[in-house]
Amino acid sequence: MKIQNIRSVVLPKEFSFYSNLNKEQIEKYKYPARLNAGLFMIILKGRCDMSINLENYTITEESIVTVFPNSIIQMNNYSDEFDAYYLVMIPGYINNIGLIQSIMPHLSTIMDNPVLNIESKADRDLFLDYCKIFQRIYERQQSNPATEVIQGLMSTLIYGLLRIWEIKLKKSSKHGDDKGIRNRKETIYHQFIQCLLKNYREERIISFYADKLCISAKYLSVAIKEVRGKSALDLINEAVILDAKAQLKNSDLTILQISDTLNFTNPSFFAKYFKKHTGMTPKEYRIS
């Protein structure tokens, strides 16, 4: 299994565990990348500014990050001491260990809020203990892993995260927190982002997304602008450019091939589009 567009990062098993990544390894993610694997990050120390599916987040020692397959990520800035545990799994892994039914009721909330801050020190210490056990098992038994033990630990970790999510949502509801009870425009924004990430390679017209959400293009534009401060068209273009940058920096595809993957009519039009939004030609960006 490979993380798409990240050349040289190879994850050969359905579940992989990493820690103590060096600067060179982290730097591979300074450019946008689309993942075809799921990822949990449990931050040990330091801080990092990270983009996940066009949203910017600051993650700290209190953060646990959940990234679903097909997400676009980028690690923008990070402190020198930044360190984390990384648990990576193929898309079918959660289903294989029988947790999909438990996750489904929370799926939309977690996708919309990938960074969870653990306020309780006891909860944080518990998750770190899980990771230490993961690390010991993974390092000692990579050639013949104790599958049942790893699956049991992963189940415990995910149930722990779901419990914290439920507590946070109940608190939000009880206190009438606007973040816990999303209004209509916020709901439209999150639905738009999910639809955009599935379709931006083929569809770059606002009316397509408005039709998918069963609203007018005008109302979609107003909702996105109010929630995000950017237009729907800005976000469509941003998704296309992020994908193009990822392929230019981290794949061996030619500019013609990249143009084709993004469904441009020809490489000349792709080059003009890319330069309009970045100030550089695709070739200039690739060698920068």
Same CATH topology for 15-174 and 184-287? no
Residue 37: band (very low, low, confident or very high) from pLDDT cuts 50, 70, 90: confident
Averaging pLDDT over each range in 95-104, 127-136, 165-174, which range is the top one?
127-136
Please provide the average confidence, as pLDDT, over all residues in the chain: 82
Token couple for 130:
């899980």
Tens of pLDDT, residue by residue over 181-240, are 357 888 899 889 889 988 999 999 999 999 999 999 999 999 999 988 899 999 999 999
Q: Global pTM?
A: 0.72
- Residue 197, CA distances (Å) to 85, 192, 243, 274, 277 in order: 26, 9, 10, 19, 19
The CATH code that applies to domain 184-287 is 1.10.10.60
Q: Would you kindly state where each structural domain of the chain is located, as residue ranges? A: 15-174, 184-287
Name the CATH code of domain 15-174 (choices 3.30.420.40, 2.60.120.10, 3.30.70.260, 3.20.20.80).
2.60.120.10
